[in-house]
A and B are shown apart, each in its own frame.
Chain A
Amino acid sequence: MKVTLKNSFTINEPIARVWQFLSDPHKVAPCMPGAQILEQVDEKTFKGAMKMKLGPFSSQFEGEVVIEHMDGAAHEIRMVGKGKDPKGSGNATMTIFGSLKTLPDGGTEMTSQSDLVISGKIAQFGSRMIEDVSKTMFNKFTESFSAHLAAESTGQNVAHANEADAVSVTEVAGVVVKGMVRRMFKKDSE
């Protein structure tokens, strides 16, 4: 199944600073809950791992992240991560497209679109939860991205998102319930 999330947020940093951070997978990956870069294969290819918990299912995806498109002038980047669970519970492919725009106040607006395609047990049993879980993950990513960037500017240390060991089950349960309640009153889509 496929989940597409679009997101846009503002960072009080100049575009050059944000771009320098965004274009470095070593810096971006730790902002994603449960994700890790294990090894750099070449300039554009990295080996990585990602943990994901969904209700009773816990998967450890292992695979590659490839930077498919990077345009420093336009401030655009597209990364594709493909991973599979070695125990055969499923595969996941995540495509993240990010672009930056300078705001009148000198800050930066980051717009992203993430497409997550998953198959296997997680997709089968988590279909009603996956959208909410993905949203939680990306919200955490957004927070973490801003925090890391700010910390780097000020020289502080912040805990890596992945030290929290993926998105925890209880957290997800709360979000899922909220999501269900919200959907009951929502008008636009299923």
Chain B
Amino acid sequence: MSEITQVSLGGMGQSVRRKEDIRFIQGKGNYIEDIYLPNMLYGCFVRSPFAHAKINGINSAEALKVPGVVAVLTAKELAAHNLAWMPTLAGDTQAVLAGEKAVFQGQEVAYVIAENQYAAADGAEMVEVDYEELAPVVDPHQAMDKNAPLIRDDKKDQKNNHIFTWEAGDKAATDALFKNADVVISQKTEFQRVHPAPMETCGCVVNHNKITGQTDIYLTSQAPHAHRTVFALVAGLAEHKTRVIAPDIGGGFGNKVPVYPGYVLTAAASIVLGRPVKWIETRTENLQSTGFARDYHTQAELAATKDGKILAMRVNTLADHGAFNAQANPTKWPAGLYSICTGSYTMDNAYVKVDAVYTNKAPGGVAYRCSFRVTEAAYVIERAVDQLATKLKMDPAALREKNFIKSSQFPYKTVTGWEYDSGDYHKTMKLALDKIGYAELRKEQAEKRKKGELMGIGISFFTEIVGAGPRKQFDILGLSMNDGAEIRVHPTGSATVRLGVKSQGQGHETTFGQIVAEELGIPVEKITVEEGDTDTAPYGLGTYGSRSTPVAGGATALAARKVREKAKKIAAHLLEVSEQDVEWKNYKFQVKGVPGKVKTMAECAFAAYTNAPDGQEAGLEATFYYDPPNFTFPYGAYICVVDIDNKSGQFKIRRFLAVDDCGTIINPMVVEGQIHGGLTEGFAIATMQEIRYDAEGNNLNGSFMDYLLPTAVETPHWETDKTITPSPHHPIGAKGVGESPNVGSPQAIVNSVVDALSHLGVTNIDMPVTPWKIWQILKEKGVAE
């Protein structure tokens, strides 16, 4: 028998080509827009042009005269079915359609259903809405003012625009450390409102069968099971007769976690009319009404000794949540995992406070390619550490190294309560500094400065917290954040793996197959990974927060081990020895000490259906629900080198190096692809993206003309490298990587630009860092004209 090797299997650590790409690169994906059902209707929204306006009346008469228009739904009709309001993931209520008043520009006001998209759009044009404009609240600071207009007068007990205050750490102890510290820095930063802007916008097709009561929902969903449960709770649908199918998803990045009014209305329309109904957003609708990200306005302080030992951190953040508190966070964690903001450093104490407010803007606050406010946290600490280095006149790399948690200190309990699983920060940092040639770059910078040339080096050393989460503390609307995996090994030795998570481009069909290949010795090409259909997949909370590998990856490995245990009994039976005499070696079962006496998994699988041992259940399959004992903590050292034109403020990223440690790597090529993608998104956030509103609450970035996506032309060349420090508690030691590059990169870029200008007294530039902003500074400092 030929040898089975990791390479021949396509097991762990192999750069197996992505199976899904065969259909994607040929345009054969199956997205919501590809789904056409016979007799299908189409929905289109009438949306509020105003940020804050009383609705005095809606006249649908003219719209109903448009040929092809079947029905027009308003809040009045929904109220009759108790559907006018829906719960949000954050436990607030959100208007499905605006009733008494509209609270953000782009809010859903009426829903027109017609025989085709064109009739639906024409009908929507003809709906007359009598708006009476009200004063909008746009600035989150203004929202806190006691004289600010009350946005949520629909809520009986809501007397102002404040949503919650959330605290972590020890305030008194932290204040005491600050009082006695040699050095204190204070930094005001804004992490601007951005939008995940996935390539595919949000949409659905709902098909309700009035005779059987079955409802099929094709949905752009990062969490099909969780969404089905929400449908059951909100719309009273019977869960066993509701099938949520997430087909191919064209990018999610957190934008496809919330439940949107479009889903609810499309389902309601199909149920009422008994016909399939499709709804899909335009790009503008996606940008102006669905889940935005960030919008954290922060005052951060660090206390340190004069020789650069960090003593304490104090953070006060104002969070703009928009008109409904519809952010996506674990229910008991209103500011997510933001208290990870102590970063990669030891300190004696910390205090973190977040106040969230309503404003007349689109609702959201989703984890855009990050794990629940971790990007905001990493930004705050890594910007603050740089400012501390400037104040202490210390090298920012040396200051970081001085304060790093040491490898011997892991597992490390932070002052805000997290237990970091593993790390060797000094090693990763050293690799990055050596590889970029840090010392040489600093010399070059000093020489350039003498000549009046501007060059900056920015460092970000981030620690992520991913894989929500241990069910004792982490749930969404009560649903434990655990995930299932089911493995069926078929008689001829191939296998089907079904998961509760859902790829939106991450490559699950390949990487989860590799985990099973490694555990069971079945070649990856003989393994099909299925996700996204609640009729077949085991329950799970979905893919976001880099949780697929940490949670579902654990479930997959442990389900595979259950299969292997059962197969071992069969192998013993086939080898005619006792189970104790069989060992799993070189991806086969072998009689201990007798290398020639082996049975492969394929042979065991065939026997499971043809020749199972007496007294043993036939078949070879297993299901496992994994409850992670802790989060995983990927980290990385990112270094950005920037050159700035001192006359125009134009800047160019000369080099960007990302050294990541995400524990055990399943597929190096997929990891590198994830890092490239995340860095490109981080670069876009740092230098070009912002969802802005004017004083009247008009959204000024409602198209890709105004909300920029980087193309190959703008995007810098990415250099990557890695260290590997496995997670000690994860079944395969993997930590998750998809979001690290987005979490780690923005501050590396901002730090590099600030570093280039630090000798001019510049300590902060808020994102997006544009040539315009830099030029303004250069002009103010007398460098440029």
Listed in ascending order, the chain A residues whose CB lies under 8 Å from chain B are 1-2, 84, 86-91, 117-121, 123-125, 127-128, 187, 190
Q: Are A190 and B49 in contact (CB under 8 A)?
A: no
Decide yes or no: A2 and B49 within 8 Å by CB, A125-B702, A128-B706 being known contacts. Answer: no
Q: Are A86 and B128 in contact (CB under 8 A)?
A: yes
Decide yes or no: A88 and B703 within 8 Å by CB, A1-B695, A1-B698, A119-B698 being known contacts. Answer: no
**B494-536, CB < 8 A from A:** none
Interface 1/0 per residue, B282-294 and A, CB below 8 Å: 0000001000000
Q: Provide the residues of chain A in CB contact with B51, threshold 8 Å.
A: 119
- Determine the distance from Cα of A152 to Cα of B785 in the docked complex, in whole angstroms: 49
Provide 8 A-B residue pairs closer than 8 Å at the C-beta atoms, listed in order of the A residue.
A88-B49, A119-B51, A119-B696, A119-B698, A120-B698, A124-B105, A125-B703, A127-B698
- Determine the distance from Cα of A84 to Cα of B697 in the docked complex, in whole angstroms: 17
Counting from the closest, the 10 A-B pairs by CB-CB distance are A120-B49, A123-B698, A1-B694, A119-B696, A127-B700, A90-B49, A88-B129, A124-B698, A124-B702, A121-B49
- Determine the distance from Cα of A121 to Cα of B282 in the docked complex, in whole angstroms: 14
Q: Which of A2, A88, A89, A187 is close to B694, meaning CB atoms less than 8 Å apart? A: A2
Q: Are A1 and B696 in contact (CB under 8 A)?
A: yes
- Determine the distance from Cα of A119 to Cα of B697 in the docked complex, in whole angstroms: 8
B131 within 8 A of A: yes
Q: Provide the residues of chain B in CB contact with A88, threshold 8 Å.
A: 46, 49, 127-129, 131
Q: Please, which residue of chain B has its CB at the minimum distance from the CB of A2?
A: B695
Decide yes or no: A127 and B694 within 8 Å by CB, A91-B133, A119-B133 being known contacts. Answer: yes
Interface of B is mostly: loop
Q: Provide the residues of chain A in CB contact with B128, threshold 8 Å.
A: 86-88
- Determine the distance from Cα of A121 to Cα of B51 in the docked complex, in whole angstroms: 11
Listed in ascending order, the chain B residues whose CB lies under 8 Å from chain A are 46, 49-51, 105, 125, 127-129, 131, 133, 288, 694-700, 702-703, 705-706, 772, 785
Q: Please, which residue of chain A has its CB at the minimum distance from the CB of B702?
A: A124
Q: Are B698 and A87 in contact (CB under 8 A)?
A: no
Decide yes or no: A117 and B696 within 8 Å by CB, A88-B131, A89-B49 being known contacts. Answer: yes
Q: Please, which residue of chain A has its CB at the minimum distance from the CB of B51?
A: A119
Q: Provide the residues of chain A in CB contact with B698, threshold 8 Å.
A: 1, 119-120, 123-124, 127
- Determine the distance from Cα of A29 to Cα of B695 in the docked complex, in whole angstroms: 28
- Determine the distance from Cα of A121 to Cα of B702 in the docked complex, in whole angstroms: 10
Interface of A is mostly: mixed
Q: Are A190 and B772 in contact (CB under 8 A)?
A: yes
Q: Provide the residues of chain A in CB contact with B696, threshold 8 Å.
A: 1-2, 117-119, 123
Q: Provide the residues of chain B in CB contact with A84, threshold 8 Å.
A: 131
- Determine the distance from Cα of A2 to Cα of B693 in the docked complex, in whole angstroms: 12
Q: Provide the residues of chain A in CB contact with B697, threshold 8 Å.
A: 119
Q: Provide the residues of chain A in CB contact with B50, threshold 8 Å.
A: 90-91, 119-120
- Determine the distance from Cα of A89 to Cα of B698 in the docked complex, in whole angstroms: 12
Q: Provide the residues of chain A in CB contact with B706, threshold 8 Å.
A: 127-128
- Determine the distance from Cα of A124 to Cα of B698 in the docked complex, in whole angstroms: 6
Q: Provide the residues of chain A in CB contact with B705, threshold 8 Å.
A: 128
Q: Please, which residue of chain B has its CB at the minimum distance from the CB of A89?
A: B49
Q: Are B125 and A124 in contact (CB under 8 A)?
A: no
- Determine the distance from Cα of A2 to Cα of B695 in the docked complex, in whole angstroms: 8
Decide yes or no: A124 and B288 within 8 Å by CB, A88-B49, A90-B49 being known contacts. Answer: yes
Closest Cβ–Cβ distance, residue A1 to chain B (whole Å): 4
Closest Cβ–Cβ distance, residue B210 to chain A (whole Å): 34
Closest Cβ–Cβ distance, residue B117 to chain A (whole Å): 18
Q: Provide the residues of chain A in CB contact with B125, threshold 8 Å.
A: 87
Q: Which of B46, B133, B695, B699 is close to A124, meaning CB atoms less than 8 Å apart? A: B699
Q: Provide the residues of chain A in CB contact with B133, threshold 8 Å.
A: 91, 119
- Determine the distance from Cα of A118 to Cα of B705 in the docked complex, in whole angstroms: 20
Closest Cβ–Cβ distance, residue B667 to chain A (whole Å): 43
Q: Please, which residue of chain A has its CB at the minimum distance from the CB of B48?
A: A88
Q: Provide the residues of chain B in CB contact with A89, threshold 8 Å.
A: 49
Q: Please, which residue of chain A has its CB at the minimum distance from the CB of B58?
A: A88
- Determine the distance from Cα of A82 to Cα of B705 in the docked complex, in whole angstroms: 29
- Determine the distance from Cα of A160 to Cα of B125 in the docked complex, in whole angstroms: 31
Closest Cβ–Cβ distance, residue A61 to chain B (whole Å): 12
Q: Please, which residue of chain B has its CB at the minimum distance from the CB of A55?
A: B705
Q: Provide the residues of chain B in CB contact with A187, threshold 8 Å.
A: 785
Closest Cβ–Cβ distance, residue B350 to chain A (whole Å): 38
B694, B702, B705: residue with the most chain A Cβ atoms closer than 10 Å: B694
Q: Please, which residue of chain A has its CB at the minimum distance from the CB of B136?
A: A119
Q: Provide the residues of chain B in CB contact with A117, threshold 8 Å.
A: 696
Q: Provide the residues of chain A in CB contact with B129, threshold 8 Å.
A: 88
Closest Cβ–Cβ distance, residue B702 to chain A (whole Å): 5
A86, A88, A127: residue with the most chain B Cβ atoms closer than 10 Å: A88
Closest Cβ–Cβ distance, residue A80 to chain B (whole Å): 15
- Determine the distance from Cα of A128 to Cα of B705 in the docked complex, in whole angstroms: 10
Q: Provide the residues of chain A in CB contact with B700, threshold 8 Å.
A: 1, 123-124, 127
Q: Please, which residue of chain B has its CB at the minimum distance from the CB of A125?
A: B702
Closest Cβ–Cβ distance, residue B676 to chain A (whole Å): 31
Q: Provide the residues of chain B in CB contact with A121, threshold 8 Å.
A: 49
Q: Provide the residues of chain B in CB contact with A91, threshold 8 Å.
A: 49-50, 131, 133
Q: Please, which residue of chain B has its CB at the minimum distance from the CB of A88?
A: B129
Q: Provide the residues of chain A in CB contact with B105, threshold 8 Å.
A: 119-120, 124
- Determine the distance from Cα of A117 to Cα of B694 in the docked complex, in whole angstroms: 11
Q: Provide the residues of chain A in CB contact with B785, threshold 8 Å.
A: 187
- Determine the distance from Cα of A48 to Cα of B697 in the docked complex, in whole angstroms: 26
Known: A1-B695, A91-B133. 19 other contacts (CB 8 A): A1-B694, A1-B700, A84-B131, A86-B128, A88-B46, A88-B127, A88-B128, A91-B50, A118-B696, A119-B105, A119-B133, A119-B696, A120-B50, A124-B49, A124-B288, A124-B699, A124-B700, A127-B694, A127-B706
Closest Cβ–Cβ distance, residue B566 to chain A (whole Å): 60
- Determine the distance from Cα of A125 to Cα of B131 in the docked complex, in whole angstroms: 20
B125, B288, B698, B702: residue with the most chain A Cβ atoms closer than 10 Å: B698
- Determine the distance from Cα of A190 to Cα of B771 in the docked complex, in whole angstroms: 12
- Determine the distance from Cα of A121 to Cα of B50 in the docked complex, in whole angstroms: 9
Closest Cβ–Cβ distance, residue A52 to chain B (whole Å): 14
- Determine the distance from Cα of A81 to Cα of B125 in the docked complex, in whole angstroms: 25
Closest Cβ–Cβ distance, residue A6 to chain B (whole Å): 19
Closest Cβ–Cβ distance, residue A2 to chain B (whole Å): 7
- Determine the distance from Cα of A90 to Cα of B49 in the docked complex, in whole angstroms: 6
Q: Provide the residues of chain B in CB contact with A120, threshold 8 Å.
A: 49-50, 105, 698
- Determine the distance from Cα of A190 to Cα of B770 in the docked complex, in whole angstroms: 12
- Determine the distance from Cα of A41 to Cα of B705 in the docked complex, in whole angstroms: 43
- Determine the distance from Cα of A127 to Cα of B699 in the docked complex, in whole angstroms: 10
- Determine the distance from Cα of A72 to Cα of B607 in the docked complex, in whole angstroms: 105
- Determine the distance from Cα of A21 to Cα of B603 in the docked complex, in whole angstroms: 100
Q: Provide the residues of chain B in CB contact with A123, threshold 8 Å.
A: 694, 696, 698, 700
Q: Provide the residues of chain B in CB contact with A127, threshold 8 Å.
A: 694, 698, 700, 706
Closest Cβ–Cβ distance, residue A124 to chain B (whole Å): 5
Closest Cβ–Cβ distance, residue A161 to chain B (whole Å): 27
Closest Cβ–Cβ distance, residue A129 to chain B (whole Å): 11
Closest Cβ–Cβ distance, residue B698 to chain A (whole Å): 4
